[in-house]
Structure 1
Amino acid sequence: MSPATSPTGADQRRGPFRPGERVQLTDEKGRMNTVTLTPGGAFHTHKGLLAHDAVIGQPEGCVVSNDTGHRYQALRPLLSDFVLSMPRGAAVVYPKDAGQIITMADIFPGARVVEAGVGSGALSISLLRAVGDQGYLHSFERREEFAEVARGNVETIFGGAHPAWNISIGDFQDEVVKQEEPGSVDRVVLDMLAPWECLDAVATVLAPGGVWINYVATVTQLSRTAEAIRADGRFTEPNAWESMVRGWHLEGLAVRPDHRMVAHTGFLLTARRLAEGVTGISPKRRPSKTEFSDEDLQTWTPRDGDWSPETLGERVVSDRKLRRAAKDAASTVQRGAFKDRDKD
């Protein structure tokens, strides 16, 4: 397959290093630094200076030396590396959760997917890779500042705009029913504070058998979303889980779990759309308290009646930080223009 017909971004992952590319440099102690290659540029540390020109044109996986003889292993950053280091305005969906979303929501090549809560674009990148150029991803984001950061990050990883991606500004539950035909969407992915508010919108656009997956941070959000889905009757019984990743220390016979791990980041909850007019079958279970009392809602809901990041313990992102992240993301895309000039 020639580069002209390669899937979007594929040619960015192949061949020798080119100007404008991000390269991960790992020294002999395992310390990693990511730099954007610029003709005539240099990577400076207290160990000396490494000229970018010594890396440009070299094959991926090469080992290069700086002016004092210290060696570096040069590789292109993986998606997981990029996501954790890219400019961000909001917390990103960690790779471990993005992988679960792609698999458990059955995101397939050519799928029509809508998502809400774009944030910095980390999950959008994974979804675009899964649906491919012939698929469709429509992302909804309430804040233009977040959308700008996401656009910059998506264009950086794919080397330009992705043909399958469309991003809209506005509230998901209001906009999706205006812009998507009823029953036309294969998958719905929500990363937001109150997904239960989107029940009618999701039920309208999601095709029968389609998967709805939610990413929520707290037990209270998880419980309220699950009970709302059960009470609605248009979906299958919801399933919920979380994933934890623990690395291992590997050195000779000293093989043991790492002392630190990526533990709780969020909960995932899935349900599937039933055929129109069908009421779901509820599994038989022992009677338990499933209804929310006024006291429960008072405990969970802030005084103004609106769920907010502060209430759920999330860090509030300042407008200044958002502007800086958007500027950084756009700058990364601009530096990547070297690649296009190099190919011309």
Structure 2
Amino acid sequence: DVVLLKDKKHAAHEGILVRLQALKQTHTHRGNIAHTDVIGKEARQLVHSSKGNAYRIHEPTLAEYVRLTPRLVTPIYPSDANLIVSLLDIHVDSSANQPNGSTPIKILEAGTGHGALTLHLARAIHAANPPLPKLPSYATEQEVEDPVYLGESVADLQEANAESWRAGRGAIVHTLDISEKHSKHARKIVQGFRDGMYAGSVDFHVGDVASWIESQRKSRKAEDPFLSHVILDLPGADGYLETVASALKVNGLLAVFNPSITQIVECVEKIRNDKMPYLLDQVIELGASTIREWDVRAVRPRATLKKAEQKDLSDSSSGEEPVDPVKGQQARDDELAQDLAKNEEKWATICRPKAGQEVVGGGFLALWRRMEPASVAESPE
């Protein structure tokens, strides 16, 4: 079990996240806390250190668990993870209400990292999967080998039941990372939260996106799209857009999360230049307290601008009256068009926060909907 110990006199402090082991102690500047003193107690009860300081026992929330677990990479913090999952608009039905043979919802997260977003995604689809099977253990402390029950060992029965359970899942998060070290660490993080209650909803993979999609096609023996959502949280996301498009269902959601707005712009330009079947929903900047939406789009400048229009624009912007922020931004867009009007064939990318919104940013999220290919959607009657 994992518990959160908070100093009774300093309850506002984040506390100490402890994985309980019978023979271990947790060392603090206020004394050592024996794990045997914690084991068996209920949440909100007190435990005392070797120096007599009182600590209150808490069951960590998902947000506390993500923030306080050891990390190899920077996690997506809970406020951002919650917003991302909300914007993905994931809806699952209870496992009891799903018809037999229904196709499971499959979500690909490329870039497992710490496993923070993985946990939030797994929580979102948890209701779609039946409870994990539990078999009684027939082994005793004296038995070295697995006991045999009806010709099979308990371990074999448990594995068979687990395979059967996995085949009947209604929703799955496939999380992929290029680093085996990071993937193993993230698996421990997911399995460590509340006795691994969400671990069964996640399949961990090591490798690159293209190889994983190809392996899935071979195992499914089909070429049709099979993913309902894709999250790309990795460098060079624009290099995977075409590969992902072939595996994402029509009207499925693609989310790209990057620390820099220029990386989102690269994706926007790649989709436009290569005529990929994506429709941009929105681009937002994630922050500590709120969000602000960004306007990221390609515009074709006018071939010519009349001198009278230029003069009117100059006169209107030099007045003493306050300028409306939206109109002022439009004027700046016109100036951009004027600068680029010498080359009619070039495109300009508008990339700016929408007027009147402020935030301290923590990253950028872009959402696209998968469209029908142009050859299908616009075929002549």
Kindly report the root-mean-square deviation, in angstroms, between the aligned alpha carbons of the 2 structures.
2.6
Paired with 2:377 and 2:272, the residues of 1 have a C-alpha distance of: 9
1:116 aligns with 2:110: yes
> Any stretches of 5+ residues in structure 1 without a counterpart?
1-20, 248-261, 282-344
SS state at 1:84 partner: helix
Amino acid at match of 1:59: E
Q: Which sits farther off after the overlay, 99-108 or 39-48? A: 39-48
Match of 1:264 among 354, 361, 370: 361
Contact 1:207 1:273 in 2 (8 A): yes
Is the CA contact (8 Å cut-off) linking 1:235 and 1:280 kept in structure 2? no
One-letter amino acid of the structure 2 residue matched with residue 114 of structure 1: L
**Where does structure 2 lack aligned partners over 5 or more consecutive residues?**
93-103, 130-169, 218-222, 291-358
**Cα separation, partners in 2 of 1:245 and 1:226, compared to 1, 3 Å:** same
> Match for 1:73: what amino acid?
R
Change (3 A) 1:243 1:279: farther
Q: Distance in 2 between matches of 1:25 and 1:115?
A: 32
* Residue 173 in structure 1 maps to residue 215 in structure 2: no
* Structural mapping, 1:281-296, within 5 Å: none
Q: Residues 278 and 62 (structure 1 numbering): CA distance in 2 closer, same or farther, change over 3 Å?
A: farther
1:146 paired residue among 182, 189, 196:
182
Q: Out of 211, 225, 233, which is 1:183 matched to?
A: 225
Matched with 2:3 is: 23
Matched residue type, 2:59 = R
Percent of matched pairs sharing the same residue:
28
Equivalent residues of 2:2, 2:193 under 8 A apart: no
Asked whether the 8 Å contact 2:288–2:362 carries over to 1, the reply is no
Secondary structure in 1 aligned to 2:199?
coil
**Correspondence for 1:277:** 374
Looking at structure 2, the residues matched to 89 and 67 of structure 1 have their Cα atoms a distance apart, in angstroms, of 32
Name which structure has the greater RCO, CA cutoff 8 Å, separation 6+. 1
Partner residue in 1 for 2:262: 220
CA distance in 2, matches of 1:280, 1:75: 55
Query: How far apart are residue 218 of structure 1 and its match?
Result: 0.8
1:201 aligns to what SS in structure 2?
A: helix
Contact 2:237 2:267 in 1 (8 A): yes
**Which digits, 9 at most, give the CA deviation of each residue in 1:75-113, with x for residues without a partner?**
012111221222322221111221111110112336310
Which residue of 40, 64, 70 corresponds with 1:87?
Answer: 70
Q: Distance in 1 between matches of 2:277 and 2:375?
A: 7
Structure whose alpha-carbon radius of gyration is higher: 2
Q: For 1:118-137, what aligned pairs fall within 5 Å after superposition?
A: 118-132=112-126, 133=129, 134-137=170-173
Check the 8 A contact 1:177/1:201 in 2, yes or no: no
- Specify the code of the residue in structure 2 equivalent to 1:189: I
Q: TM-score, normalised by structure 2?
A: 0.59
Say if 1:229 and 1:122 are closer, same or farther in 2 by CA, change over 3 A.
Answer: same
Q: Aligned-pair distance for 1:68? A: 4.3
Shift of 1:188: 0.4
The answer as to whether partners of 1:87 and 1:120 remain within 8 angstroms in 2 is no
CA distance in 2, matches of 1:245, 1:233: 33
SS across alignment from 1:163: helix
Once the 2 structures are TM-superposed, how far is the Cα of residue 278 of structure 1 from its aligned partner? 6.1
Which has a greater percent of strand?
2
| 8 Å CA contact 1:94, 1:265 repeated in 2 | no
- Structure 1 residue 175: deviation in Å? 2.6
1:158 and 1:70 mapped to 2: Cα distance? 27
Q: Does structure 1 residue 55 correspond to structure 2 residue 49?
A: no
1:126 CA drift (Å): 1.4
* Residue type at the aligned position of 2:74: A
Number of equivalenced pairs: 247
Match of 1:229 among 259, 262, 271: 271
